[in-house]
Amino acid sequence: MNHLNSIYQRLQSNYSDCDITYAPGLLTVKCKNGEIRADGFRTCFLEDGKTVQELLEKNDDNLYEEMERFILYLQEGGADAAQSDELKMLKNPAYHNAFTRSGKIAGRILLIAGGAELLLLAFCFRQDQLLFFLLPLLIWPIFSLALIAFVRKKILARIWICPNCGSRLPLTCSPFSVIIEYVASCPACGANLETESLPSEIPETDDEDGKISDTADQSMTFSPNPEGVVKPPRKWPALLSGIVIILYSLLGLFMTLFYMGDAPSVGIALGIVMHVSILLSGIALLVCRAPKLPEHSRPVICIQERLFVSVLAFIVWPLALFLLLIAFGYCVQPPLDVPFGLIMFLIGLGLLICGIWMLLAGKNRRLYVFENGSLTYMTSWGRKRELLPGQRFSIRFGANDSIQFLNADKKKIFAIERNMRGVDKLADWVESREIPLEITKLKEQQIQQEEGIEPVIQWREEYTTRLHSHLKEIRLGKWLVLALFWAGSIIPLFFFIAGALKFSQTIYLMAASPLPLIVYYLAFAPVLTLNGKQKGATAEWQSHHIRISLPLVLLPALWLMSVFHYGLEQVLIMEEKWYTLAFWFGLGAIFIIAFVLRTPKRLRGEGLFMIGLSLLLVAEPMMYAGNFALCGEETHYPAKVLERNIEQDDDDDSLEYSLTVQLDDGTAFEFPVTEELYEMEESGTEFVVCQRENPLGVRMLDLHLPPEK
């Protein structure tokens, strides 16, 4: 027998918008057009007065989850919301008109916005300012989405109206999207909007001899691919894009060979890797094809990508080629900036892979459902995966509207998304087959957030570790390592300025200041939480965890990184090369991966992202100090000044002075100097280059007066 009183209290606290009543022996929940009745032994779920499910569940938690799932189902619209878009458009002419017209106009605006973004990028690139370049790259897509939403809202306000009384029909609006709320009747006048204009069956007509006519016979003829179920894929977007990308890559390889000898070897190597990657991407568009279905196969459902994916791909991959062109220019043409070119290459390559995947998804990605219960899935890259008739499988709904198909061992075989064309037809098929359904924990949290429900986070005995018996000592250690972090990142700098500490001692102490906190977290991660005060957590749960305040970690990390980057690194400048960036990001990645693996899954949240950012910030001072420690004795040689530069600062009206000096290996290096040093060199004062080098090839440089002066 179920404890209805406890279930009533839980429902009352989480679903106060529902009509929930409880009397001894009867719990009733009313929500929209549905109702739940539970007497402690049997639970009935009703929709529109009809019983849709009955349960004899003894476990209170399982019964509560079933009730919660049914309430969410009713709040999302119930059976009416489960209808496919195709069926809605057939039954409701007003919905069909609004859906198609607004979709066409939004697609045109998206194409215009994509072309305008490319023009803006080309214009801003000519300004030779990174800020101007990032403006259209980051701001314009947001503006385009807001513009599409605004135009759709205005159009739907004119066409999504009741044909009887002319009143507006409901819409769900946000700054970046407008969604049509389907209604079968007008909320204002109650007029029926559904005409039930479904295609009629072709009647069988007998001829004079009593035989079935040719027309009827032809209508009953077996068709391998019924009309409207399987639509042929559009191959020309992938074909056209593949040809253009291959031609671009071949031209880029030719240009790389042209610059060979003039550009640095690192830039040439990066150019070759870049254009070979582009060439392989173009070849993939031409080679990757989905296998054909057997001639006599008869799919009853075909789920495929919408046209929007291919349209978006034509915006993404040209933008990627544009970024890769910029990266190539910074690698082989002066002014050379290989680290920046490497960053642009990684961004452009990521966008290119994304665009290639979109094109291949529009060309190949399909899910076929057959009459015998088998499923055939074609991946974007042309691979085929099958579920045979009678094979046990289940479906799991994940976050971001993903639908995952699992085998008997609960391993994912393939996945589709709810925004794919034809996915609405899958609901009836799944219901008729009685396929087990489940949702992920993240999806459950997402539904609860959308409904404004705060989940209750309770402590479980399985979470207990031996560390929980030493919480007082661990809490004391938290304040100790935070104090060391703050003191180590601030105090040595002032001692260095006062002359009490050497330069080497200062950078070692400051770079090592985060290490106690890192070791502390890795040792005691099961009892530490980075997510602040957890919403919905019980007092027992909070008493078993120690909160680490993120500002107390992020602020000294920002201070440490800024002091090194804009202060100490100007005393002894580290020559930037691609592998110095690799050391920095590699060290940060090691810390982040260690933190993620050490943190229990139940404690991973937005706080882990912020602590990862802090780890990336402190990795630069550690990388600098590590390179300095590996350096040998300093050497001095006369500074041969090749060029003097005076530039105005972009942020204010001050002037920036620099001297370009030839190093001992013949390469040029630009030293930022003060106005006083600039005027001294200009007047004929001799300077020397102070150079340290480590076994990794990293040089640390300074420009000053000769030691005897």
Residues 439 and 431: beta-carbon distance below 8 Å? no
**Domain containing residue 662: CATH number:** 2.40.50
Residue 223 falls inside a structural domain: no
Domain coverage including residue 645: 635-704
Q: Is 183 helix (H, G, I), strand (E, B) or coil?
A: coil
**Domain containing residue 24: CATH number:** 3.30.1120
* Domain stops at, among 307, 342, 363: 363
Looking at the structure, tell me whether residues 62 and 96 fall in a common domain. no
Looking at the structure, tell me whether residues 59 and 89 fall in a common domain. no
pLDDT tens, residue by residue, 566-608: 776 667 787 766 667 788 888 989 999 999 999 988 888 778 8
pLDDT tens, residue by residue, 198-226: 443 333 434 434 333 333 333 333 334 44
Looking at the structure, tell me whether residues 250 and 358 fall in a common domain. yes
Looking at the structure, tell me whether residues 619 and 639 fall in a common domain. no
Answer whether residue 511 shows pLDDT above 70.
yes
The domain tally of the chain equals 5
Looking at the structure, tell me whether residues 289 and 179 fall in a common domain. no
Residues 567 and 624: beta-carbon distance below 8 Å? no
Looking at the structure, tell me whether residues 61 and 156 fall in a common domain. no
Residue with tokens 């015998």: 372
Length of the chain as a residue count: 709
Q: What pLDDT shows up at residue 10?
A: 82
Answer whether residue 105 shows pLDDT above 50.
yes
Residue 15 falls inside a structural domain: yes
Most confident option among 48-62, 123-137, 632-646: 632-646
The secondary structure of 411-422 as a DSSP string is -EEEEEETTSBT
Looking at the structure, tell me whether residues 481 and 604 fall in a common domain. yes
Residue 468 falls inside a structural domain: yes
Looking at the structure, tell me whether residues 71 and 97 fall in a common domain. no
Looking at the structure, tell me whether residues 603 and 473 fall in a common domain. yes
Looking at the structure, tell me whether residues 135 and 69 fall in a common domain. no
* Domain stops at, among 363, 381, 408: 363
Residue 371 falls inside a structural domain: no
Residue 552 falls inside a structural domain: yes
Looking at the structure, tell me whether residues 477 and 602 fall in a common domain. yes
Give the predicted TM-score (pTM) of the model: 0.50
Crossing angle of the two packed helices 551-563 and 606-630, in degrees rounded to 10: 30
Identify the bridge partners of residue 63 per DSSP, sorted by sequence position: none
* Domain stops at, among 363, 382, 407: 363
Q: What DSSP character marks residue 230?
A: -
Residues 229 and 270: beta-carbon distance below 8 Å? no
Q: Give the residue-averaged pLDDT of 348-369.
A: 90
Identify the bridge partners of residue 5 per DSSP, sorted by sequence position: none
Residue type, 146: A
Answer whether residue 404 shows pLDDT above 50.
yes
pLDDT tens, residue by residue, 111-170: 777 777 666 666 665 555 545 555 556 666 777 778 888 888 888 888 888 888 888 888
Residue 539 falls inside a structural domain: yes
Residue 21 falls inside a structural domain: yes
Residues 370 and 299: beta-carbon distance below 8 Å? yes
pLDDT tens, residue by residue, 409-419: 888 888 888 88
Looking at the structure, tell me whether residues 548 and 667 fall in a common domain. no
Answer whether residue 503 shows pLDDT above 80.
yes
Residue 413 falls inside a structural domain: no
